[in-house]
A = this chain, B = another copy of it.
Amino acid sequence: MEPLILDDRIKGVPGGTAPFPASEVGARGWNVLREDLPLPLALLKDEALRHNSRWMQRFVEASGAHIAPHGKTTMSPELFQLGLDDGAWGITLATVGQVQAARHFGLKRVLMANELVGKQAIRYILDELARDEAFFFTCLVDSLDGVRILAEAARAHPIERPLTVLLEGGFADGRTGCRDRDGAIAIAEAVKAAEPHLALVGIEGYEGIIRLADPRQAEREVRTFLRYLIDIARECDKRDLFAPGLVILSAGGSIYYDYVVEEFSRAGLSREVEIVTRGGGYVSHDSGMYRTLFAEIVERSETARGLGRGLQPAIEIWAYVQSRPEPELAILTAGKRDISYDVDMPMPFRWYRPGESNALQEVGPGHEITDLNDQHAYLKLPQDSPLKVGDMVGCGISHPCTTFDKWRVMFVVNEDYDVVSAVTTYF
């Protein structure tokens, strides 16, 4: 795909910059602390990104599994390529709109971790499968209605090969996915009956929405769910409902992938199994939710501990202090348009006074962002905080997905905040 042409309509690009390809940003010699770029700015840390991508690859390899990074997190061709270069199985996506974008990036292997529904969405997938025999695509089914809709579309629009699907299992009070084994088997039988238009190539579930205060209870519920998926897989295996070839077993968001690889490696099917986990947040990691959850993984997983240095926060938002209107309040030039706010408020951790010092300072205790408006952050601080109008403040975030989708370009910096490359996004 042609790289995105950056111009100053795009947030983060200095006003007056003549259009140039994002891939050439490293040659411009921009440094963030020298104020070569306007704020707010979303930054990715080069070394941490690369480390995180390799870390996950090493984790799944050590576990006999694969990673299909969830592309919905970043929707970025550069980050998809980073994962693929490190050995990712393919890319996970959530919607056909995302598949459309990803096909422009040249992706050949897509696991759509969602039901495929809607006339245009199904038509497009069938067209792409017909047009490019190197394109592997699979999606989920969790209902007889869903199978019927796909089968009718595939029958009406015959292509040379089946539309492959994974049967999704779910749990009570969960999201999508069939809640009981008998129902699941009935769906698998319906897929079988729709051959050669459809083909069942595996079993899928998503355990990431299980969130419990008690980690032991969470573990029990996650393992119970994973065993339910295995149970469905064994029954499909026994009844010969899978299409010929490998069987895919897929689960695993960013929280419980250690349980996933452990349970799935004991599935014991008669067929060769490919275990595909689907974390998305690990490449940027964060300074909030995922940092906390990752600490728990390291604590409980020998494999994770064996890999040494763990995942590093690789995403930061920088903004100026634009006002300090009360002794204990500063207002920053970043808001809901720039940064995640769905899980935690941003966490200020570094600051810099342009022109006066070369040293990045740590943000002291008592500095806390308490609220965001569309374009403003409310930073409560001690009366004697050194921060004043014109200072730059760097913030960590919680939940990368909802920061990535607020930027069309994110600059990748080295430890000195030199811009070395660009990550573009297609939301």
Contact = CB atoms under 8 A, between A and B. Distances in A.
B15 A324 contact: no
Contacts of A324: 143, 145
A90 interface: no
Interface residues on A, range: 35 or more
A114 B176 contact: no
A375 B336 contact: no
A374 B405 CA distance: 10
A176 B38 contact: no
A135 B298 CA distance: 57
Interface in A163-190: 170, 172-179
A326 to B, nearest CB: 7
Interface string A395-427: 000000110011010000000000000000011
B16 A320 contact: no
A12 to B, nearest CB: 7
B124 A15 contact: yes
A374 B143 contact: no
Interface string A1-23: 00000011111111110000000
A142 B40 CA distance: 20
Interface stretch (A45-53, A95-103, A216-224, A232-240): A95-103
Given A37-B120, A119-B35, A127-B15, A376 B175 contact: yes
A118 interface: yes
Interface string A88-111: 000000111101110010000000
Contacts of A11: 97, 427
A172 B326 contact: yes
What does DSSP make chain A's interface, helix, strand, loop or mixed? loop
Give the number of times this chain occurs in the complex, counting copies: 2
A146 interface: yes
A378 interface: yes
B333 A120 contact: no
A288 to B, nearest CB: 16
Contact of A95 (B331, B333, B390): B333
A322 B373 contact: no
A341 interface: yes
Contacts of A104: 7-9
A342 interface: yes
Contacts of A308: none
B320 A15 contact: no
Given A72-B337, A337-B427, 13 more contacts: A9-B100, A15-B100, A16-B127, A39-B121, A40-B95, A115-B322, A117-B333, A119-B354, A149-B389, A149-B390, A175-B331, A176-B323, A406-B427
20 contacts: A8-B104, A12-B97, A14-B120, A15-B100, A15-B120, A15-B124, A38-B124, A114-B322, A114-B375, A115-B389, A117-B322, A117-B389, A118-B390, A143-B323, A145-B388, A145-B389, A146-B389, A179-B325, A209-B373, A374-B402
Interface of A: 7-16, 35-40, 72, 94-97, 99-101, 104, 114-115, 117-121, 123-125, 127-128, 142-143, 145-146, 149, 170, 172-179, 209, 320-326, 331, 333, 336-337, 341-342, 354, 373-376, 378, 388-390, 401-402, 405-406, 408, 426-427
